[in-house]
Amino acid sequence: MSDAAPTTIYLKDYTPFGYLIDSVHLTFDLAAHATRVTSRIAFRPNPDARDRKFFLHGEQLRLIRAAIDGAEIAPEVTDEGLTANVPNAPFVWETEVEIDPGNNTALEGLYMSNGMYCTQCEAEGFRKITFYPDRPDVMSTFTVRINGDLPVLLSNGNPTASGQGWAEWTDPWPKPAYLFALVAGDLIAYPDQFTTKSGRGVELNLWVRPGDEGKCAFGMEALKKSMKWDEEVYGREYDLDVFNIVAVDDFNMGAMENKGLNIFNSSAVLASPETSTDANFERIEAIIAHEYFHNWTGNRITCRDWFQLCLKEGLTVFRDAQFTSDMRSAPVKRIHDAIDLRARQFPEDNGPLSHPVRPESFQEINNFYTSTVYEKGAEVIGMLKRLVGDEAYSKALNLYFDRHDGQACTIEDWLKVFEDTTGRDLTQFKRWYSQSGTPRISVSESWDSGTYTLTLSQETHPTPGQTEKLPQVIPVAFGLLGPNGDEVRGTQVLELTEATQSFQFTGLAAKPNPSILRDFSAPVILDHGHSNADRAFLLAHDTDPFNRWQAGRSLAEDNLFRMITQDSAPDGQFLDGLLAVLRDGDLDPAYRALMLQLPSQSELASTLYDSGHTPDPLAIWTAIETLKQATAQHVQDLLPRLHSESLVDAPYQPDAEQSGKRALGNAALALTTRLDSGTQAAAEYDRANNMTQQLASLACLLRAGKGETQLSSFYDQWQHDRLVLDKWFGLQISLASPDATPAVALGLTQHPEFNWKNPNRFRALLGSLATNHAGFHHADGSGYQLLADWLIRLDPVNPQTTARMCTAFQTWKRYDDKRQALMRAQLTRISETPNLSRDTTEMVSRILDA
């Protein structure tokens, strides 16, 4: 552990900063190892603050000069910042510092990537650029001058002047420092333009490295669609003359919403049919939308402090999900989101890292960019919308924008606009922000001469720091089906607010079948108490597409569960139900493809653990393989038809329709490969003219233990393309057999193209190791050891990415004693590494405290 005891920051300790800022002027003299940053900041005392201590954050800065109103001073400087005596009146603060972007491997602050200068300031990176009150509630306009001999010099806002070797930018909208950005490089523009609904012309540019111009068209279209959608659905217009997006290869996250200058991980924006899969395209469209939507939810209205992170992230994820539902298929998007939430957020919320959507303390805020804050945060907004209704939701949002534009806000401000518009008391609802853990709902029902009674009970298990749990407000979307499959009660929302509550439905002719939690109306674990006959009935008849899919999913899960715990065989109820759905040519191909997707190994591990079993990774893997094999045999006769239904004549488009067809075709191909040992997959590989087909057929071959030649020709074909090469690394590890996985991963770490300091490449390799469930949990512990070796190596270089990847160990307590001991040993080894970063120290200690 590092010697300095980690400091914990608490929400309850919030106080406003003692000074307000009227303007910020920054000058950058760029040089790879000695960039000069000169700041001129107009401060004045904050009338709303009591504490007048003048502390400015600053890390890894070499102070050259500081002055107040032109007179030089010698402030007291520590590793974390400086303090100075300042006038109790407005004053102009100036500093000159020197920084070393060329050696900044952490990718926070100003750093370099392939010769390009680039910044990342959220959450607390601006303090690595200059001395500043680096907190989101301090907002100001910025003027930035960049001096540097690179052709493209960008910052936030509008360009105001430029000449040979310099450019000046002015951002008229007050913003916190975390939204600051600067980019300088030899970049090519992919230009376009957009006219807002009030007639403002906006110049759009996507800036990329030379050679990537051919991968910009899709991202640009997605941007224009997002701008239009936000005008139509939320009434929000863009507010600057230019909107710039820059693609950068070295980036810790997906993308960043800096005002007027979004910076993207190149994997989250660059796309072409030859190099990107349908899933890549969909993700890119969603991330472009997400960052653009932040302009209003995040930038114009920002967070008072980092505890309020979900204020911007939960809302913006919710908005991007609405966008995707509108652009593509709403049921398919909802199912994907439920799958992801269960795969990522549920394990987090039911393990040592569990925290509320609005955490109340942290050591390192970077560790709280979690699926709880983002995805559960978005679910909370979805529940609120469902409870108040669509109309009240949009009224509340208009009030939010009117009332809080230009402010740094809290969850209390957010909920208040809903209370004020609807008159509803949201005190109990607010528990969704403060109480951690996933509520579990159990169901019982009774039937008595025409009256059906549904009783729902809720319970949340204790989580770290929270033993007592109170009932939440849970909107349960619900419908009833009659014995012949007709819907006898359409969807309505039941509000579960007590620990146990009953709902009665009268005047029914026969005992109905309930369809509960339609559209996945709340982020909860639902224990139906359904029999497989009930599930098969819903799979055949439910009018709610989510619950129809869920019925099939539950059948599969139950079957796998019994195969693992009771040595059962694959059973007919699931397979016949599946066959019927696959035969239904009226059903969206994407939806049928989802039906064919079995629960993942880690999801099954969670289910087993939840019901008191110790998950055996190899047994889980074997059961899934067996059920897939049985599925292939059971639906064999249908496979040629699925294949032909999936053929696309038109030129490649990554839209919902075509990608749905390809998803179904490739799901069918995976089954076919189990029967023909790869003949068709090899032919598909040779025929493939887009990455979706090429990668899917290669995956089929690798899964069948074939494809060695295709794998090496794939490498030869794509070795120049870094994003495709990430896929090449990842695929081999994801699809390696459980026994071989750690060795395959180890072998690839020795590959000359394993540039481990690049986060995408590191994740492609070690992230794939961590998500290959049976392979990572190899009984000899070699998977754990390999990951720990690399986390220890990466930590001094890039703490943020290291800390995130420690989550691979968060479920360690679920496994058998031997595996627990092996994982504990690796976690301990990491924690005892000298000079371990604050990020990783916090993560490992929370995980070990389980």
Annotated catalytic residues are 291
Q: Is 290 in the site for ligand PHE (CB under 6 A)?
A: yes
Least Cβ distance, residue 263 to ligand PHE (angstroms) = 8
Point out which span in 309-317, 527-535, 581-589, 630-638 binds Zn ion (CB under 5 A).
Answer: 309-317
Q: Does 368 bind ligand PHE (CB under 6 A)?
A: no
- Unique residue bearing structure tokens 């693992």: 564
> Residue with structure tokens 């939308």?
289
Asked if 313 is part of the footprint of ligand PHE (rule: CB under 6 A), the reply reads: yes
Q: Does residue 59 interact with ligand PHE by CB under 6 A?
A: no
Per-residue H/E/C for 769-805: HHHCHHHHCCCCCHHHHHHHHHHHHHCCCCHHHHHHH
Per-residue binder mask for ligand PHE (CB under 6 A), 227-256, x = binder: --------------------------x-xx
Fill in the per-residue mask, 315 to 344: x = in contact with Zn ion (CB under 5 A), - = not in contact. Answer: -x----------------------------
Choose which of 369, 520, 728, 776 interacts with ligand PHE (CB under 6 A).
369
Q: In what order do the strands lie in the sheet with 474-481?
A: 487-496, 474-481, 513-516
Q: Of the candidates 291, 348, 588, 795, which one interacts with ligand PHE according to CB under 6 A?
A: 291
How many angstroms separate the most distant Cα atoms in the chain?
89
Interaction residues for Zn ion, span 388-427 (CB under 5 A): none
- The option from ligand PHE, Zn ion, none interacting with 369 (CB < 5 to 8 A, set by class) reads ligand PHE
| Burial label, 425 (beta-carbon count in 10 A; 0-12, 13-18, 19+) | exposed
- Order the strands of the 440-448 sheet from edge to edge: 500-505, 451-459, 440-448, 525-527
| Binding residue for ligand PHE, selected from 59, 94, 100, 122, defined by CB under 6 A | 122
Nearer Cβ to Zn ion (230/313): 313
Binding residue for ligand PHE (CB under 6 A) from 35, 104, 120, 798?
120
Amino acid identity of 200? R
Q: What are the DSSP calls for 587-605, one per residue?
A: S-HHHHHHHHPPPPHHHHH
Q: Which is nearer to Zn ion, 316 or 601 (CB)?
A: 316
Among the listed residues 417, 329, 344, 409, the one whose alpha carbon sits nearest the alpha carbon of residue 379: 344
- Determine the number of helices (DSSP H) and then strands (DSSP E) in the chain: 30, 31
Q: What are phi and psi of 299, to 5 degrees?
A: -95, -60
| Number of residue whose CB is nearest ligand PHE | 253
Nearer to ligand PHE, 367 or 458 (CB): 367
Strands 261-265 and 242-248: parallel
Residue closer to ligand PHE, measured from CB, 370 or 690: 370
8 Å CB contact between 571 and 559: yes
Task: Give 605-637 as a DSSP string.
Answer: HHHHHHTTPPP-HHHHHHHHHHHHHHHHHHTGG
Q: What's the closest the beta carbon of residue 123 comes to ligand PHE, in angstroms?
A: 6
Rule CB under 6 A: say whether 842 interacts with ligand PHE. Answer: no
Residue 588 contacts ligand PHE per CB under 6 A: no
According to CB under 6 A, which one of 94, 212, 230, 257 is a site residue for ligand PHE? Answer: 257
Q: How many CB atoms sit inside 10 A of residue 709's CB?
A: 11
Of the candidates 199, 188, 245, the residue with the CA atom closest to the CA atom of residue 222: 245
Q: Name which of 130 and 800 has its Cβ closer to ligand PHE.
A: 800
Amino acid letter, residue 727: K
| Residue in the structure block whose two tokens are 């129809």 | 548
Instruction: DSSP letter for 463, please.
Output: B
Task: Kindly state the number of chain residues that form the binding site for ligand PHE, as judged by CB under 6 A.
Answer: 11
CB of 606 to ligand PHE, least distance (A): 26
CB of 290 to ligand PHE, least distance (A): 6
Which residues, in sequence order, are bridge partners of residue 423?
none
Q: Is the peptide bond before 509 cis (omega within 30 degrees of 0)?
A: no
Q: At its nearest, how many Å lie between Zn ion and the CB of residue 313?
A: 5
Which lies closer to Zn ion via its Cβ, residue 378 or residue 578? Answer: 378
From the list Zn ion, ligand PHE, none, partner contacted by residue 212 (C-beta under 5 to 8 A by kind): none
When the beta carbons of 310 and 594 are compared against ligand PHE, the nearer one is 310
CB of 474 to ligand PHE, least distance (A): 27
In the complex with ligand PHE, which residue's Cβ is closer, 313 or 337? 313
List the single partner that 120 binds among Zn ion, ligand PHE, none, CB under 5 to 8 Å by kind.
ligand PHE
* Four-residue CA torsion sign, 61, 64, 66, 70: negative
Q: How far apart are CA 748 and CA 454, in angstroms?
A: 55
Q: How far apart are the first and last CA of the chain?
A: 18
Dihedral-angle region of residue 677 (phi above 0 means left; psi in -120 to 50 means alpha; beta otherwise): left
Only one of the segments 116-124, 187-195, 427-435, 664-672 lies at the binding site for ligand PHE (rule: CB under 6 A); that segment is: 116-124
Binding site for ligand PHE (CB under 6 A): 120, 122-123, 253, 255-257, 290-291, 313, 369
Binding site for Zn ion (CB under 5 A): 313, 316
